[in-house]
Copies of this chain bind each other. A is one copy, B any other.
Amino acid sequence: MLEKYNHSARILVALDCIVFGFDGEELKLLLIKRNFEPQLGKWSLMGGFLNETEDLEVAANRILYDLTGLQDVYFEELKTFGRVDRDPVERTVSVCFFALINIHAHSQDAAKAQNAFWINLKNRPEMIFDHNEMVNLALERLRYRAALHPIGFELLPEKFTIPQLQKLYEAIYDTPLDRRNFSRKILSTKLLIDTGEKNENSATKKAILYRLDQQKYQQQFNAFHYFVSDIRV
């Protein structure tokens, strides 16, 4: 039997999860109005603790599932936060993730059970601990990633129009984009498949509904390089 590392401190390992959504106009965050201690009544990210016999990645999926009822959603590690005083209750190191989900496809029941609400990113409330810092960094990372990889699609429904996609990018970068250049750029990636359908929820010209070419999406994930003039990572 191997000897254990007797001289070092065992520390609580938490996970905190930032969930981004898009309602067609604004970027949103799924935040918890805490109905439990500590910090009851305040806003926070969804979080949890790593169990003794649980892989870190499994724990992240568990927390996402408990919040959204979704499995296999896009998420990536953001950073591990480890200031000594970040949680006043007890020393806790938190591995922070962010996820992108289709805002219409998750479980309302799961969200309700966690007392979670979609909040406009721009109007986000003060949050507990270092959660504000986490969200700021996550937005930065989202902008970085979305400029290089086609992750925007993760936030849209299965079928979507180019104008919808453009509105998403405009929300992510908080800047207007040229409609014609945007369309050309996106279509040149060949990632979009024309479904033959049109968006019927339109009072004017109905835009073409596309879906993502999943195979090309996987292949081209690392060769997307979406750039427009105002977007610098």
A-side interface residues toward B, CB under 8 Å? 2-5, 8-13, 37-38, 49-57, 59, 77, 79-84, 88-93, 95, 148, 222-223, 225, 232-233
- Name the B residues within 8 Å of A84 (CB-CB): 53-55
Min CB distance, A86 to chain B, in Å?
Answer: 9
List the number of copies, as a whole number.
2
- Name the B residues within 8 Å of A222 (CB-CB): 232-233
* Contact A49-B80, Cβ < 8 Å, known A2-B89, A38-B2, A148-B233: no
Q: Which 8 A-B pairs have the closest CB atoms?
A: A56-B82, A10-B10, A8-B49, A9-B52, A80-B80, A2-B89, A4-B90, A80-B95
Interface residues of A, dominant DSSP: loop
Docked CA distance A2–B91 (Å):
12
Min CB distance, A221 to chain B, in Å?
Answer: 11
Docked CA distance A9–B232 (Å):
42
- Which among B51, B80, B83, B91 is the interface contact of A52 at CB below 8 angstroms? B91
- Name the B residues within 8 Å of A5 (CB-CB): 12, 49, 89-90, 92
- Name the B residues within 8 Å of A9 (CB-CB): 12, 49-52
Min CB distance, A96 to chain B, in Å?
Answer: 10
Docked CA distance A53–B232 (Å):
38
Q: Quick one: closest B residue to A147, CB to CB?
A: B148
- Name the B residues within 8 Å of A56 (CB-CB): 80-83, 93
- Name the B residues within 8 Å of A77 (CB-CB): 79-80
Docked CA distance A59–B91 (Å):
15
Docked CA distance A233–B225 (Å):
9
Known contacts A11-B12, A93-B95; 7 further A-B pairs (Cβ under 8 A): A5-B92, A8-B12, A9-B50, A9-B51, A55-B83, A55-B84, A148-B233
Min CB distance, A214 to chain B, in Å?
Answer: 21
Are A3 and B55 in contact, with the CB atoms below 8 A? no
- Name the B residues within 8 Å of A91 (CB-CB): 52-53
